[in-house]
Amino acid sequence: MAQKTQLTKASRIALAVALVVFALVEAYFVATTPSTAPFAGNWRLVSFETVNDGGAVTPSRYTDGRIMYDEAGHMAAQLTFANRPPLSPEATDAERAAAQASYLAYYGTYQVDQQAGRVTHHVQGSTNPNWPRTNLIRYYEFSDKGDTLRLSLRNDAGRTTGTLVWARIH
């Protein structure tokens, strides 16, 4: 003979409370987990301007570049000077140093803080040997259509020292 299992009124209330608490906790984590979706994709450097202590804006020597973000939280960036001369077959140390100085690349993971309008690049590898295991903080803005990304660098005092403008590659 099959036995019927009946929940007491207290058991039903406890189960209902547990389900409500579970739903609230899940909703909290969904709402507070920053989305990487707006960043995901490949971007082409449009401009990079630096700002000196006096507020004067000048174009950076880095005139071309790409940055890539994926939805899993990985990123990679590459910047280069325009018109880099090819190395000669018997390149000197000075030529190799100039080639190195005209190219910057790094990769790692990234984390978005939507409240602060900030994306942090957690550098794992770079052509700059001082950057691995550091965090590069960039303040971001997207265009209304989401096809332009502006990343600003700030010093410890909060003053903008440079701005990179990126166009989404479709």
pLDDT at 70: 95
pTM for this predicted structure: 0.77
**Domain that residue 142 falls in:** 41-168
Contacts of 127 (CB under 8 A, 6+ apart): 100, 103, 104, 105, 106
Q: Is residue 22 part of a domain?
A: no
Q: Is residue 142 part of a domain?
A: yes
Give the domain CATH number at 65.
2.40.128.280
Q: Output 36 or 150, whichever has higher pLDDT.
A: 150
Q: Is residue 24 part of a domain?
A: no
Q: What is the number of domains present in the chain?
A: 1
125-139, pLDDT tens digit by residue? Answer: 999 999 999 999 999
Report the percent of the chain where pLDDT is more than 70.
82
Q: Is residue 14 part of a domain?
A: no
Q: Is residue 20 part of a domain?
A: no
Report the percent of the chain where pLDDT is more than 90.
77
* Section 7-22 average pLDDT: 67
* Section 15-26 average pLDDT: 61
Q: Is residue 154 part of a domain?
A: yes
Q: Is residue 123 part of a domain?
A: yes
